[in-house]
Amino acid sequence: MNKRQITLHIAVSVLIFLILIGSGVMSILALLLVRIIYRDLFLTAAPLTLISVAFVASTVIGTGISLFVSRFFLKPVDTLIESVGKIAKGDFSVRMTNKNNVFEITELINSVNNMAEELGSTEMFRNDFINNFSHEFKTPIVSIKGFAKQLQKDNISEEQKKEYIDIIVNESDRLASMSSNILLLTKFENQQIVTDKTKFYLDEQIRKCILLLEKQWSKKNINLNLDLKEILYYSNEEMMSHIWLNILGNAVKFTPDGGTIAVKCYQDLNSVSVIVSDNGIGMDDKTQKHIFDKFYQGDSSHKSSGNGLGLALARRVVILCGGKISAKSQKGKGTTFIVRLPVTNQQ
């Protein structure tokens, strides 16, 4: 029992004691009253009658006091039962006002209010996700259908034909990558621990990811500054590659031709750090607040080449690995992503 519970127990005991004393005192007063009003009767009455009068008076008075006091305790409990019932039926807008001074009841009311708020935001988030999901899937399908219809026409030039086919291929790629990202995200969100861990070199993995993106960065003549210290890491290699592919892919995507991307990784006593900086388009404060949200895309000029799931996925993997991911950015100057991972004891 903690201090608060002990205080509550003492308070309840004192209350019961006061009710008993109160009803005792009141019954004596009732007897005195009977004595004043029916003086003769009182003097001649048998002791049993007097005891009965005292008993009835103390019962009536005690019940009255208990009813009055229990209303004070039971009213918030009744409100609580009613509110929890509403929440169970799916009404998450319920909020209880707290007019009670008892700490435990105040705590209970606050917890139920917090629970309703959390459930409400989860519900809103779920609805948002379904809306975004439907929208993001519908857009490329509508576009594919539109260009396929154009291709059905007889009077289109070879050049237009090629252009429409390219659009259809790109939109199909986008749909395919969106489906696999959603599947991956759902899988990682339902996962609580990292499975299939092996030992691998993290610096080597980052180098491989950079190579996978070579087509994109060499096309834009991007300079790469690599400072990758050797790090032997113990985790799920395949899963971790999603972090680097997404961050590096974004750095390439949001850095204009001739720009520079610096990639650094090192290990100290407590953590492993991977830092990816670019001198690309950067982000304003509003964008920075939402970059890890599902389907969020800050820069409208690049909307066609992504689906806003990359960073949500990267963040989920980092969290699963027990690490942290953050971004620092300045519009027009560039962006730095910092990933800190715990040092694993198998390293």
181 binds ligand ADP (CB under 6 A): no
Among 27, 246, 267, 279, binds ligand ADP (CB under 6 A): 246
281 binds ligand ADP (CB under 6 A): yes
Q: Interacting stretch for ligand ADP, rule CB under 6 A, among 10-18, 118-126, 231-239, 309-317?
A: 309-317
What's the CA gap between 275 and 339, in Å, rounded?
6
Which residues ranging from 94 to 133 are in contact with ligand ADP (CB under 6 A)?
none
Question: Which is closer to ligand ADP, CB of 197 or CB of 264?
Answer: 264
What's the CA gap between 117 and 245, in Å, rounded?
36
- Min separation Cβ 310 and ligand ADP, Å: 3
307 binds ligand ADP (CB under 6 A): yes
Which residues ranging from 129 to 158 are in contact with ligand ADP (CB under 6 A)?
none
- First and final C-alpha spacing in the chain: 44
Give me the amino acid identity at 204: E
Among 27, 280, 325, 341, binds ligand ADP (CB under 6 A): 280
259 binds ligand ADP (CB under 6 A): no
Question: Which is closer to ligand ADP, CB of 34 or CB of 312?
Answer: 312
Which residues ranging from 283 to 302 are in contact with ligand ADP (CB under 6 A)?
283, 287, 291, 296-299
189 binds ligand ADP (CB under 6 A): no
Question: Which is closer to ligand ADP, CB of 267 or CB of 279?
Answer: 279
Among 182, 240, 311, 321, binds ligand ADP (CB under 6 A): 311
Handedness of CA 108, 110, 115, 116 (dihedral sign): positive
Q: Interacting stretch for ligand ADP, rule CB under 6 A, among 105-113, 116-124, 247-255, 262-270?
A: 247-255
- Residues engaged in binding ligand ADP (CB under 6 A): 246, 250-251, 254, 278, 280-283, 287, 291, 296-299, 306-312, 335
